[in-house]
Amino acid sequence: MPIFRDHIGREVSMEVYPPQRIVSLVPSQTEWLYDLGLDDQVVGITKFCVHPEHWFRNKPRIGGTKNPKIERILELKPDLVIANKEENRPEDIAELEKYIPVWVSDVKDFESALDMMHQTGVITNRLEKAKQWIQRAQNAAEQLHTSPLKRALYLIWRNPYMTVGTDTYISQMLPYFGYVNALKNVERYPEITASEMVELKPEVILLSSEPFPFSEKHIEELQRDLPGIEIKIVDGEKHSWYGSRLVRTLESLSSSPE
């Protein structure tokens, strides 16, 4: 029985290898499984797994990332569930692993994103294809020239405003887009007020398209409190999704920076 170690140090024993029935609880990892060629093997996804569209339209959905329907997952009889430490709740992972092997990623930066790609390539028997994608990511990253970096605040939520701490994947990836987090030594996803934004004196404020759907009216709203500071909407999937989306984003940036 093959045993794999996941990102949070757990040993995952696979009764069926390679897995023939996989449930993914993470949108970016769902897209990654698609690009690994696992169309027949993936039998369940979340309601937020919108890429690829034909999977979203046709694959069974098992609820959300934070509230998966455990009974529905068990009905699908998966050989493997692929989850993420940040996206999914520990109690759901604990309940699922009573019945099914659960492999958990913990993606914090570029290196751990590549390791997730490598490890899932191993555990799904798609290592050679995973290596090709990893090489593409490394090549694209080496071609990026993004200095000097602009000091930025990246907002993910409104009412209250929430931004990203320096220990998050989004923050660690900002330099690839030409930015550096204006926050220092702040963890996770802190709330922030407009007056606190003013005090930080960012050169630019980035409004993510997800999870809160910022729009032009929110730029106008913030601009009243922060005159003279550049504010723009950015593609949240490009900034926060890893796997194959990371590769395509880096390749796009290396040819024409955002």
Domain residue spans of the chain: 3-140, 150-242
Phi-psi region of 14 (alpha: psi -120 to 50; beta: other; left: phi over 0): beta
Contacts for 10 with CB less than 8 Å, ≥ 6 apart: 104
Closest CA to 246 of 139, 150, 149: 139
Please tell me the distance from the alpha carbon of residue 83 to that of residue 85, in angstroms, as a whole number.
7
Confidence of residue 257 (pLDDT cuts 50, 70, 90): very low
- The answer to whether domain 3-140 and domain 150-242 are alike in fold is yes
| Architecture (CATH level 2) of domain 150-242 | 3-Layer(aba) Sandwich (3.40)
Q: What is the pLDDT of residue 1?
A: 79
Q: What is the pLDDT of residue 145?
A: 74
Write down the CATH number for the domain with range 3-140: 3.40.50.1980
**pLDDT per residue over 4-36, tens digit each?**
999 999 999 999 999 999 999 999 999 999 999
